[in-house]
């Protein structure tokens, strides 16, 4: 099914609300662009169970993402048990949508699989101890998760990422039965959006703030994000959330280790979970 250029331009206008939006080139439009540009984080889910086979389809989509050297240094855990979702929600800052969503996916860096393979082969696997391998697993997990997210949204489902699994990583590892060489990078809630509590498209920074040509150009003085601050204030009002400037909110989140909500000790936690990060 083809979508009109005018509709996609409307989606772009929503994504850059109140800021300059790019003009699409003349080309056939399609459902992939429609899904990507329509993305919104859903934090209110209907209680409906997902149709049989949905999980397996999402995993197939995730595994269709690129993987560095095809090492596939990632895994995921599907959590559907209400009691476990409840405990995970509390570990992740008491986020109610983890409890509401019928499916919660925990995406993992997984060096354990290759470590076990090396042990069975009787050979070394020292490369698994280096930072690049952990970074490879985190990147692969993110690529896989984004494929799963787009697939879910193409089916009419809602999603939201949960980075707060990193707030209390050792306790999350215990809850998920993780052994050394496994680390929960983030989670993903999946379910049918509750029509009584709709989510809106969240505006993003104007492209002039993120797009550079040939070389990065660091701007002198304070970056002008006033239009984006205004767009975000309007968004928060529409969602009945506390209204705050994006710039103020962002600086608050990076002001110091206490603002990281436990993630300031991530290096020590990774070491305890079997990642020396040489």
| pLDDT tens digit sequence for 79-136 | 999 999 999 999 999 999 999 999 999 999 999 999 999 999 999 999 999 999 999 9
Both 157 and 208 in one domain: the answer is no
> Residue 133 sits in a domain of what CATH number?
3.40.109.10
Tell whether 75 and 187 lie within a shared domain: yes
Confidence check: pLDDT of 2 > 70: no
Whether 163 and 208 map to the same domain: the answer is no
Does one domain contain both 159 and 231? no
Task: Answer yes or no: do 82 and 124 share one domain.
Answer: yes
Residues 253 and 267 in one domain: yes
Residue 10 lies in a domain: no
pTM comes to 0.93
Please tell me whether residues 208 and 252 are part of one structural domain: no
Mean local confidence (pLDDT), 220-225: 76
238 and 187 housed in the same domain? no
Least confident piece of the model among 90-99, 232-241, 263-272: 232-241
pLDDT at 273 over 60: yes
pLDDT at 222: 67
Q: Are residues 184 and 112 in the same domain?
A: yes
Whether residues 164 and 138 share a domain: the answer is: yes
**How many angstroms separate the CA atoms of 278 and 270, rounded?**
12
Handedness of CA 253, 22, 16, 65 (dihedral sign): negative
Q: What integer pLDDT is reported at residue 21 of this predicted model?
A: 83
Between 5 and 80, residue with greater pLDDT: 80
Are 44 and 194 contacting, i.e. CB atoms less than 8 angstroms apart?
A: yes
226-238 helix and 246-253 helix, angle to the nearest 10 degrees: 90
54-63 and 131-154 helices, crossing angle to 10°: 130
Q: Is residue 3 part of a domain?
A: no
Domain that holds residue 232: 202-213+222-244
Domains in the chain: how many in total? 2
Is 94 inside any structural domain? yes
Tell me the per-residue pLDDT of 63-72, one tens digit each, with 9 for 90 and over. 999 999 999 9
User: Is residue 168 included in any domain, yes or no?
Assistant: yes
**3-class SS of residue 221:** coil
The verdict on residue 6 lying in a domain is no
Residues 144 and 234 in one domain: no
């Amino acid at each position: 099914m083809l979508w009109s250029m005018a509709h996609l331009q409307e989606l772009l206008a929503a994504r850059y609300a109140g800021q300059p939006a790019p003009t699409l080139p003349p080309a056939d439009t399609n459902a992939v662009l429609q899904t990507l540009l329509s993305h919104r984080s859903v934090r209110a889910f209907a209680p409906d169970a997902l149709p049989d086979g949905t999980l397996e389809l999402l995993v197939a989509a995730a595994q269709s993402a690129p993987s560095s050297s095809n090492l596939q240094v990632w895994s995921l855990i599907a959590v559907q048990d209400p009691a476990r979702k409840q405990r995970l929600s509390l570990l992740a800052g008491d986020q109610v949508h983890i409890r509401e969503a019928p499916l919660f996916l925990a995406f993992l860096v997984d060096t354990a699989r290759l470590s076990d393979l090396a042990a069975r082969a009787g050979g070394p696997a020292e490369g698994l101890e280096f930072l690049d391998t952990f970074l490879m697993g985190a990147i692969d997990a993110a690529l896989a998760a984004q494929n799963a997210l787009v697939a879910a949204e193409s089916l009419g489902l809602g999603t939201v990422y949960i980075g707060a699994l990193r707030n209390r990583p050792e306790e999350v590892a215990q809850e998920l039965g993780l052994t050394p060489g496994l680390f929960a990078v983030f989670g993903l809630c999946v379910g049918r959006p509750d029509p009584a509590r709709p989510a809106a498209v969240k505006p993003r920074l104007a492209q002039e703030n993120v797009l550079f040509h040939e070389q990065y150009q660091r701007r002198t003085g304070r970056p002008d994000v006033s239009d984006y601050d205004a767009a975000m204030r309007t968004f928060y009002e529409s969602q009945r959330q506390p209204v705050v400037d994006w710039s103020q909110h962002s600086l608050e989140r990076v002001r110091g280790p206490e603002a990281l909500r436990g993630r300031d000790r991530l290096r020590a936690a990774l070491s305890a979970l079997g990642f020396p990060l040489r």
